[in-house]
Amino acid sequence: MRQFPAAYVTPPAPSGSNTGGRISAFPYLLIAPTALLVGVLVLYPMVRGLVVSLYGGRDIVPKPEDYVGLANYVSLLRSRELANALRVTLLYAAGTVALSLAVGMACALLLHADFPGRGIARAALTVPWGTPMVASALIWYWMYDPQYGLVNFLLRKTGMIPGNVSWLLSPHWALPAVVLVDVWRIFPFGAVVLLTALTAVDRTLYDAARVDGAGPVATFLQITLPGIRPSLTILTLLFTIWSLKRFDTIWILTQGGPADATNVLSVGIYREAFRNYHTGNAAAIAMIGITLSAIITVGYFLMERRRGAISG
């Protein structure tokens, strides 16, 4: 065995020593650029938005005489508009997350199997995710056209609807139509992540399950699902956060209508800030949205910690 000179061997530090009471600044220098970036782009806008939400004027820079304290929050919490926006936002997020995970899982399982042209199919899967958001929203806007849209044409040909449906103008169908667009846009990301997770599952477990006579459902529940659970939970959190802050697709397709059927929190912020010029109300709605996202994120990590403690 090769012996290294003593000069190259660093002796272990004595227990409890702190290098003479001095704290090294090098680790803090390494994280300083990231901390500065987060402070400028995340923390400062949040603090600024919180300050603006305490004023009732219409100026971007609030004036001292416009200070109203928590009056904006009180009026919003009493309004039906905010209650409807919260309801629509949660429905939109729940539908988008559930369908995106289901479709992404199905595609990942399909593309994980061996079949001719699998590489081409995997490459084609990323097309919706790579399409610019505005372009994909406009494509779907034309597809939803009541007279000449492809959606009505296909549904009429298959006999699923007797006549044309105004999908984006109907209070009953506008939200599902917008959810479908968002699902089409983001499910490829989930499929790629889950496909990567599937390739990491030990193949010998499937061979053992096949020898034991386990069926496809039991194999999926006992082997596949536990193997991809970490990726699945991360995707759930990401899809939820993305859905809670979605604005561009909804604004292009419906602008929050009809009859506020798709008026999510982000659309309400835009309306209050740039239509009604109530910057205080807009900032208050933004703070409520941030609080909702923070609650969901903290709840997610608490559930994961509890699950890890139980499994450990």
**pLDDT for residue 17:** 47
Percent of the chain's residues with pLDDT above 70:
91
Question: In the structure encoding, which two tokens stand for residue 64, read together?
Answer: 């001292």
Helices (H), 200-259: 203-211, 216-219, 225-244, 248-253
How many Å separate Cα 258 from the centre of its chain?
24
pTM listed for this prediction: 0.84
Better pLDDT: 310 or 206: 206
CA–CA dist 273, 266 (Å, integer): 11
Kindly report, residue by residue over 115-141, the tens digit of the pLDDT. 888 889 888 988 899 889 899 999 999
Helices (H), 39-173: 44-52, 71-78, 80-112, 118-125, 127-130, 133-143, 150-157
Average pLDDT over residues 226-245: 91
Which CATH architecture is the domain 71-311 placed in? Orthogonal Bundle (1.10)
> What are the boundaries of each domain within the chain?
71-311
- Render pLDDT for 55-89 as a digit per residue (tens, 0 to 9): 987 777 788 888 998 999 999 989 899 999 999 99
pLDDT score at 21 = 56
Residue-wise pLDDT for 154-181, tens only, equals 999 998 888 899 999 999 999 999 999 9
pLDDT of residue 1: 46
